[in-house]
Amino acid sequence: MDAFKINGGNPLKGEVTISGAKNAALPILFSALLSQTPIRISNVPRLRDIETTNKLIAQFGADVHWADDNDVVIDASNIEHCLAPYDLVKTMRASILVLGPLLARFGHAEVSLPGGCAIGARPVDLHIQGLKAMGATIEVDNGYIKATNEGRLKGANIFMDVVSVGATENLMMAAALADGVTVIENAAREPEIVDLANCLNGMGAKVEGAGTDTLTITGVEALNGEHHSVMPDRIETGTYLVAAAVTQGDIKCLKADPHALDAVIAKLQEAGAQVDFGDDWISLKMEGRPKAVNIRTAPHPAFPTDMQAQFVALNVVAEGTAKTTETIFENRFMHVPELQRMGANISLEGNTAISTGVDQLTGAQVMATDLRASASLVIAGLVATTETQVDRIYHIDRGYQKIEDKLQGLGADIVRISV
Ligand SMILES: CC(=O)N[C@H]1[C@@H](OP(=O)(O)OP(=O)(O)OC[C@H]2O[C@@H](n3ccc(=O)[nH]c3=O)[C@H](O)[C@@H]2O)O[C@H](CO)[C@@H](O)[C@@H]1O
Ligand SMILES: C=C(OP(=O)(O)O)C(=O)O
């Protein structure tokens, strides 16, 4: 199993190129299942979750191949079956996103229930309810969601009582091929939803309102190939910016999208960082110790849950006391006990972490428990006074392309080892 060894103390300096967004690339790759002709997707990050997605799509019978370093071509004209098996689905929750496209195009789909995960139970009831509202018959049997539909799905009015990124994406993809108009109210407004809508519209879909809380989708009979470039990863960008702030560094992120990062930039400025940006870059300079900042996660455009752990790493070395409140996932504080082992002064009260920054963290052997928790431990390691070993970094490989190479390029002392 791989681990990172980190010797902290170097301020991050220089330029880092941001990869395509994992959370946009995954639904966009799955949207290829809606298309009768090949689709080419550029700026796809090279990550474990992307490999899992490609494997899942290929096992339905589609032809999936890398056409270039970051370009994937998918030809789903011939699909042999519509069964998504537990072995693949259990390794990546986003696999549930095959349900809408397969059902809409082929009238049936069997998808393993993804099961709970480290950060929370993460049910899929909204996905199922929305598809039922569009006329599908759905049963859950032996751990599988079994969905069927006679002919095309029917357009429907769907109100989602929880804002869900994945359910919005699944229903938007299904509605793209439905008969009639679907209106999704209380839809998620994340930039990745907009990127997916743009890709679908390029394939011939009629999706309006992406980026607002009401989506109107007029179904079409068929979708066809498209060449789409995935948006930059706002969470990867935010992670490097926080790492630079914590190490009192000076970095520039290239091929980034600063407009997708408003809430994160506001918090970095509140922490005392100087942040500048242009159309496709963002830079951060931090002089002196950051100031602790209160955080409350909520659906976009509020502060993203996927940046919570990284800001906890900032708060535990910042000047002052801060409250970090997690409102999206019920168990997304597993980095807290690991940070305590590195000397952090932090405690948990319900869904709030209360921290008072310490002058210095000390290195320790710590365990990554989920994707962003791993990132927060790496950030903590970058400022710790002695060596840190972060174990189980397969979590980080799900979502960060070549993180150790990128951090080394910024001057960090981090190496991958086999343990
Ligand atoms: C691949 C991907 O894009 N993952 C992102 C996506 O996950 P994902 O799409 O799984 O997250 P959701 O937006 O669906 O989850 C938000 C909340 O809704 C709840 N819920 C969701 C679906 C449902 O049917 N019933 C229900 O109750 C969840 O348990 C959670 O409490 O959005 C999350 C919230 O921004 C991010 O942290 C993840 O990085
Ligand atoms: C939680 C995340 O991903 P997933 O929804 O794929 O688990 C994430 O990207 O932080």
Q: Does the annotation count 117 as an active-site position?
A: yes
Measured from the CA of 371, which atom of ligand 1 is nearest? 39
Contact between residue 346 and residue 312 where contact means Cβ atoms under 8 Å apart: yes
- Interface predicted TM-score of the whole assembly (ipTM), two decimals: 0.99
Tokens coding 37: 């002709």
Taken in order of first residue, the domains within the chain and their CATH numbers are 2-19+232-418 (3.65.10.10), 22-229 (3.65.10.10)
Instruction: Give whole-number Cα distances, 185 to 171, 176, 248, 267, 372, in Å.
Output: 11, 16, 43, 29, 29
CA of 48 relative to ligand 1 center, distance in Å? 19
What is the residue-wise DSSP string for 146-210?
A: EEE-SSS-B--EEE-SS--HHHHHHHHHHHHTSBSEEEEES----HHHHHHHHHHHHTT-EEE-B
Give the tens place of pLDDT for each residue, 362-396.
999 999 999 999 999 999 999 999 999 999 999 99
Pairing of strands 181-185, 157-159: parallel
Residue 167, amino acid:
A
Find out whether 6 and 390 touch, Cβ atoms under 8 Å.
yes
Three-state SS at 316: coil
Tokens 């190496």 -> residue:
415
* pTM of the predicted structure, to 2 decimals: 0.98
Helix axis angle for 99-106 and 165-176, nearest 10°, is 10
Q: From the CA of 52, which ligand is nearest? A: 2
pLDDT digits (tens, 9 = 90+) for 302-337: 999 999 999 999 999 999 999 999 999 999 999 999
Q: Report how far ligand 1's centroid is from the alpha carbon of 300 (Å).
A: 12
- Please give the Cα distance from 20 to 70 (Å, whole number): 9
- Which ligand does the CA of 113 lie closest to? 1
Cα separation, 393 vs 368, in Å, equals: 6
Give CA 127 to chain center in angstroms.
Answer: 18
* Span 40-95, pLDDT tens digits: 999 999 999 999 999 999 999 999 999 999 999 999 999 999 999 999 999 999 99
